[in-house]
């Protein structure tokens, strides 16, 4: 593309079979979903004089753009956009997300075929603008039958480098890393029982710089120092739904397990519709590893819920019940962000959660503990059920106290 700058890659193979290269390029070109859409993007880039830079599988606008008058973004200013149709590009996405407020940066993930990978990141000058964008554009229909999902981006900035030599010195490693990668701010070393060699926690200036470093540092350590290190995100990690549950997939920072489960979170101000229609105290199903729920004396064992049409709808889980409560009160459907933190000494897995309900300003946050399951998807589902249970309890307790 004429106005998309390609950043050269040092690891690109110098020589290849010419016939094979032609074959690969033709195959890639044939996978582009809509060549007319690519031409529309080119026209928009020329007309608006917008510049994009493509590097490492993503295409970036701004960071900041050439003309920027706002403050530098801080924490919680980035949003995550998913379920983007594969032939939708920046000519539609950037104007849409700029309609809420000026964009500091927009990054669309791309593959070799010329398609986008279905997700992107947008960063604003303030967390308030990011929150407003989530409320306005989550569920927005880009084209018939295609609604995008918009949520808070988890801007992880810390990497853990493991299996470094025991003689590693903190100040030396900091100097080396600043030569190898951009955005390195701080390094701290950890050594002790159960740790082979030395582990280093590295803080970066942004999620983007940390992500770029994670992709290339293993190879750089191997080439320059003949060291086979492993690099993981430090602290909370998301599990892939279909990933088998193994100790490696649950690896995270070594945090001490809390001595108790946090109390059910309560928002500072409940939405008026929730406040005026307190739900029946629910008979919650048992989350894996959680205590058996004590049913309210006036609550049936099998809950039912009357819909706006008068139909009786059975509710068999906290997730279903919370969804129905939000539906009939008109506050929007809840969005769950579940993050594994660590395994406690008693075998329970600890998850933190954030449940955002579009028309309730303050998200529900808390901690749940569950027992391991056969796959990551089953574990995440149990954690989601436990989180929904806490949110419903928080709403109910708020009503009782008023």
pLDDT tens-digit readout, 193-248: 555 678 899 999 888 888 889 989 999 999 988 988 889 887 544 444 444 444 34
- Residue-wise over 215-227: b if at least 16 C-beta within 10 A, else e? ebbbebbeeeeeb
Give how far Cα 16 sits from Cα of 7, 13, 21, Å.
20, 7, 7
- Phi first, then psi, for residue 224 (nearest 5°) are -85, -30
Beta bridge mates, 146: 143
Beta bridge mates, 60: 53, 107
- Radius of gyration over alpha carbons of the chain, in Å? 24
DSSP character for 372?
-
Please check whether residue 357 is in contact with residue 332, taking contact to mean a CB–CB distance below 8 angstroms: yes
Please check whether residue 93 is in contact with residue 107, taking contact to mean a CB–CB distance below 8 angstroms: no
Lowest mean pLDDT across 37-41, 231-235, 289-293 = 289-293
| Confidence at 339, pLDDT banded by 50, 70, 90 | confident
What does the block give as tokens for 92?
Answer: 């539609």
Q: In sequence order, which residues have a C-beta less than 8 Å from that of residue 224 and are 6 or more positions away?
A: none
| Confidence at 289, pLDDT banded by 50, 70, 90 | very low
What does the block give as tokens for 358?
Answer: 């579009």
Angle between helices 170-180 and 207-225 (to 10 degrees): 100
What is the chain's length?
Answer: 402
How far apart CA 344 and CA 369 sit, in angstroms, is: 9
Please check whether residue 129 is in contact with residue 100, taking contact to mean a CB–CB distance below 8 angstroms: yes
- Predicted pLDDT of residue 368: 85
pLDDT digits (tens, 9 = 90+) for 155-183: 788 899 988 988 899 999 999 999 999 99
- pLDDT at residue 37 above 80? yes
- Phi first, then psi, for residue 179 (nearest 5°) are -80, -40
How far apart CA 162 and CA 166 sit, in angstroms, is: 11
How far apart CA 286 and CA 268 sit, in angstroms, is: 28
| Confidence at 109, pLDDT banded by 50, 70, 90 | very high
- Predicted pLDDT of residue 49: 93
- Predicted pLDDT of residue 125: 92
pLDDT digits (tens, 9 = 90+) for 55-83: 878 899 998 998 888 888 887 899 999 99
How far apart CA 353 and CA 363 sit, in angstroms, is: 10
Q: In sequence order, which residues have a C-beta less than 8 Å from that of residue 286 and are 6 or more positions away?
A: 292, 293
Q: To the nearest 5 percent, what fractions of the chain are helix, strand and coil?
A: 30, 25, 45
Tokens 């032939």: give the residue: 87
Using the Cα atoms of residue 27, residue 32, residue 36 and residue 38 in order, give the sign of their dihedral.
negative
How far apart CA 271 and CA 361 sit, in angstroms, is: 8
- Predicted pLDDT of residue 119: 93
Please check whether residue 108 is in contact with residue 120, taking contact to mean a CB–CB distance below 8 angstroms: yes
- Predicted pLDDT of residue 392: 87
- Predicted pLDDT of residue 50: 93
- pLDDT at residue 266 above 70? no
Is the preceding omega at residue 64 within 30 degrees of 0, hence cis?
Answer: yes
How far apart CA 366 and CA 349 sit, in angstroms, is: 14
pLDDT digits (tens, 9 = 90+) for 119-128: 999 999 998 9
- Predicted pLDDT of residue 205: 85
Please check whether residue 104 is in contact with residue 50, taking contact to mean a CB–CB distance below 8 angstroms: no
Query: Is the model's pTM score more than 0.85?
Result: no
Q: Helix (H, G, I), strand (E, B), or coil: what is residue 354?
A: strand
- pLDDT at residue 15 above 70? no
Please check whether residue 68 is in contact with residue 148, taking contact to mean a CB–CB distance below 8 angstroms: no
Q: In sequence order, which residues have a C-beta less than 8 Å from that of residue 156 and are 6 or more positions away?
A: 207, 210, 233, 234, 235, 236
| Confidence at 17, pLDDT banded by 50, 70, 90 | low
Q: What angle do CA 331, 336, 338 make, to 5 degrees?
A: 160
CB atoms within 10 A of CB 140: 14
């Amino acid at each position: 593309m004429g106005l998309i700058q390609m950043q050269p890659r040092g690891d690109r193979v110098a020589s290849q079979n010419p016939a094979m290269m032609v074959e690969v390029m033709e195959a890639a070109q044939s996978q582009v979903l809509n060549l007319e859409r690519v031409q529309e993007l080119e026209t928009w880039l020329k007309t608006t004089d917008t510049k994009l830079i493509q590097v490492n599988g993503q295409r970036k606008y701004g960071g900041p753009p050439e003309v920027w008058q706002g403050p530098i973004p801080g924490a919680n200013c980035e949003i995550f956009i998913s379920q983007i149709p594969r032939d939708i590009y920046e000519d539609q996405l950037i104007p849409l997300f700029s309609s809420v407020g000026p964009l500091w940066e927009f990054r669309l993930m791309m593959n070799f075929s010329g398609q986008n990978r279905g997700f992107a990141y947008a960063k604003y000058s303030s967390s308030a603008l990011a929150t407003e964008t989530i409320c306005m554009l989550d569920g927005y229909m880009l084209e018939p039958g295609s609604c995008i999902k918009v949520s808070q981006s988890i801007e992880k900035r810390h990497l853990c480098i493991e299996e470094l030599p025991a003689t590693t010195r903190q100040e030396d490693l900091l100097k080396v890393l600043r030569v190898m990668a951009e955005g390195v701010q701080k390094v701290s070393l950890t050594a002790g029982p159960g740790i082979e060699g030395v582990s280093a926690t590295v803080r970066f200036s942004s999620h983007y710089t940390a992500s770029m470093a994670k992709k290339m540092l293993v190879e750089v350590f191997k080439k320059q120092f003949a060291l086979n290190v492993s690099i993981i995100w430090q602290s909370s990690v998301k599990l892939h739904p279909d990933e088998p549950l193994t100790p490696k997939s649950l690896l995270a920072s070594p945090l001490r397990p809390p001595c108790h489960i946090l109390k059910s979170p309560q928002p500072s101000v409940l939405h008026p519709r929730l406040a005026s229609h307190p739900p029946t105290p629910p008979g919650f199903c048992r989350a894996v590893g959680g205590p058996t729920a004590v049913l309210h004396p006036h609550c049936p064992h099998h809950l039912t819920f009357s819909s706006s049409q008068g139909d009786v709808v059975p509710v068999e889980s906290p997730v279903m019940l919370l969804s129905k409560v939000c539906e009939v009160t008109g506050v929007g459907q809840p969005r769950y962000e579940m993050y594994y933190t660590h395994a406690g000494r008693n075998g329970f897995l600890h998850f933190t959660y954030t449940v955002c309900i579009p028309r309730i300003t303050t998200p529900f946050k808390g901690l749940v503990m569950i027992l391991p399951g056969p796959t990551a998807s089953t574990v995440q589902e149990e954690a989601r059920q436990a989180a929904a249970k806490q949110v419903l309890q928080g709403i109910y307790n708020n009503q009782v106290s008023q």
